[in-house]
């Protein structure tokens, strides 16, 4: 090969090498950053999805230890009642919690069971002192998920923040409990959670429908309920009027029950809204008792009125619809 041919060949090889390098840089410059951007976007989406799922799990887990502080005065009347909003139950400003435990596992429908409730502060140390509220240190409301089984019991204080009670569950399935108590020198507090009861549950319970007539009769007492306002978010007066079931005459011989003429518990059909209401005139003995409250949301609610006559506590349920 001549000297000129060798030079030409070397030039061609050099130009080819430069071209390859340039093409590689072009490809690298085009694809590299774009791939990084796509990968970064995918990573970001994956993290968002994970956080979303974690949020869902947190919400679900909160059902097992749901809590919110109740301030009666904030409702405009010290006995006006209080409402639980589960959207704010995962954390509270005071950190007070109630931990429910059962003496037996599983809890079984139809037999007496022992429940233990531990009240703790934000430091997870037991709260040991409580103020008396309506003659009791703690009021425990337990309601089946379909709202057919209701009980209002009062656990005994065993000391060191522990309350115990024996009670019975009518059927299997899920029950929701609400504990109302007042730590010494503090505001009224409500905590809630779920219990699962072993036994035959009620399948396909029909949805609650408002009563066409707000009148009930139990233990010789006829009770009529009227509601001044059925629109949510507005002040409502629930007036209970009492009559003797035999004579239809107004009754004025009601006895005090837990320091008042009666107590009213209200729960939304989905168990998301809870109201525990006390009468405006606690000393009356009939023939009427009025309870003031405010329904936080529209929907169907079940109302349990509890009164005492002839040394017997009488519970009368009503189902109402709030617009």
Domain co-membership, 86 together with 193: yes
User: Domain end: 150, 166, 198, which one?
Assistant: 198
- The alpha carbon of 66 is separated from its chain's Cα centroid by a whole number of angstroms, namely 6
Q: Is the dihedral of CA 253, 259, 261, 264 positive or negative?
A: negative
- The alpha carbon of 257 is separated from its chain's Cα centroid by a whole number of angstroms, namely 26
Say how far apart CA 57 and CA 188 lie, in whole Å: 29
Domain co-membership, 138 together with 235: no
Domain co-membership, 259 together with 190: no
How many domains does the structure of the chain reveal?
2
Say how far apart CA 153 and CA 139 lie, in whole Å: 6
pTM equals 0.72
Residue 283 tokens, joined: 């000393």
Say how far apart CA 180 and CA 72 lie, in whole Å: 12
User: Domain end: 198, 223, 246, which one?
Assistant: 198
Domain co-membership, 68 together with 190: yes
* 17 domain-assigned: no
CA atoms within 13 A on the CB side of 220: 11
Domain co-membership, 173 together with 83: yes
CA distances from 221 to 191, 225, 247 (A): 33, 13, 10
Walk along the chain (323 residues) and give the pLDDT tens digit of each residue.
544 444 344 344 444 343 433 334 333 333 333 332 222 222 222 222 222 222 232 222 223 332 222 333 223 223 334 333 322 222 354 789 999 999 888 999 999 999 999 999 988 999 999 999 999 999 999 999 999 999 999 999 999 999 999 999 999 999 999 999 999 999 999 999 999 999 887 767 788 999 999 999 999 999 999 999 999 999 999 999 999 999 999 999 999 999 999 999 999 999 999 999 999 999 999 999 999 999 999 999 999 999 999 999 999 999 999 99
94: containing domain: 63-198
* 35 domain-assigned: no
Domain co-membership, 171 together with 143: yes
Tell how strand 312-322 and strand 221-227 pair up.
unpaired
Domain co-membership, 229 together with 182: no
Cβ-Cβ contacts under 8 Å for 315 (sequence gap 6 or more): 150, 152, 218, 304, 305, 306
* 206 domain-assigned: no
Please count the other Cβ atoms lying within 10 Å of the Cβ belonging to residue 153: 15
Domain co-membership, 224 together with 317: yes
Say how far apart CA 283 and CA 156 lie, in whole Å: 26
Domain co-membership, 233 together with 172: no
CB burial of 269-285 (b: ≥16 within 10 Å; e: otherwise) equals bebbbbbbbbbeeeebe
Domain co-membership, 188 together with 311: no
User: Domain end: 172, 198, 224, which one?
Assistant: 198
* 53 domain-assigned: no
Domain co-membership, 67 together with 160: yes
* 18 domain-assigned: no
CB burial of 114-147 (b: ≥16 within 10 Å; e: otherwise) equals ebebbbeeeeeeebeebeebbebbbbbbbbbbbb
CATH number of the structural domain spanning residue 247: 2.60.40.1930
């Amino acid at each position: 090969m001549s000297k000129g041919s060798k030079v030409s060949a070397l030039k061609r090889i050099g130009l080819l090498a430069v071209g390859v390098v340039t093409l590689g840089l072009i490809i690298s410059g085009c694809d590299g950053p774009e791939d990084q951007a796509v990968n970064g976007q995918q990573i970001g989406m994956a993290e968002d999805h994970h956080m979303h799922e974690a949020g869902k799990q947190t919400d679900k887990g909160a059902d097992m230890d749901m809590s919110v502080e109740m301030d009666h005065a904030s409702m405009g009347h010290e006995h006006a009642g209080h409402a639980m909003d589960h959207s704010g139950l995962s954390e509270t400003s005071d950190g007070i919690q109630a931990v429910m435990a059962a003496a037996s596992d599983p809890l079984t429908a139809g037999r007496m069971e022992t429940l233990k409730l531990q009240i703790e502060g934000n430091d997870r140390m037991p709260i040991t002192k409580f103020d008396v509220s309506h003659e009791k240190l703690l009021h425990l409301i337990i309601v089946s998920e379909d709202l057919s089984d209701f009980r209002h019991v009062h656990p005994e204080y065993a000391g060191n923040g522990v309350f115990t009670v024996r009670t019975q569950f009518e059927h299997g399935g899920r029950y929701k409990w609400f504990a109302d108590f007042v730590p010494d020198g503090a505001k009224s507090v409500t905590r809630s959670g779920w219990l699962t009861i072993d036994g035959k549950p009620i399948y396909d319970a029909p949805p609650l429908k408002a009563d066409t007539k707000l009148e009930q009769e139990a233990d010789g007492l006829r009770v009529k309920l009227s509601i001044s306002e059925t629109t949510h978010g507005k002040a409502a007066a629930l007036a209970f009027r009492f009559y003797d079931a035999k004579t239809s005459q107004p009754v004025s011989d009601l006895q005090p029950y837990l320091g008042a003429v009666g107590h009213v518990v209200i729960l939304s059909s989905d168990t998301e809204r809870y109201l525990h209401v006390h009468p405006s005139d606690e000393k009356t003995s009939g023939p009427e008792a009025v309870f003031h409250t405010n329904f936080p949301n529209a929907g169907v609610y079940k109302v349990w009125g509890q009164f005492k006559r002839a040394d017997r506590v009488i519970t009368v349920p009503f189902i109402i619809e709030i617009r």
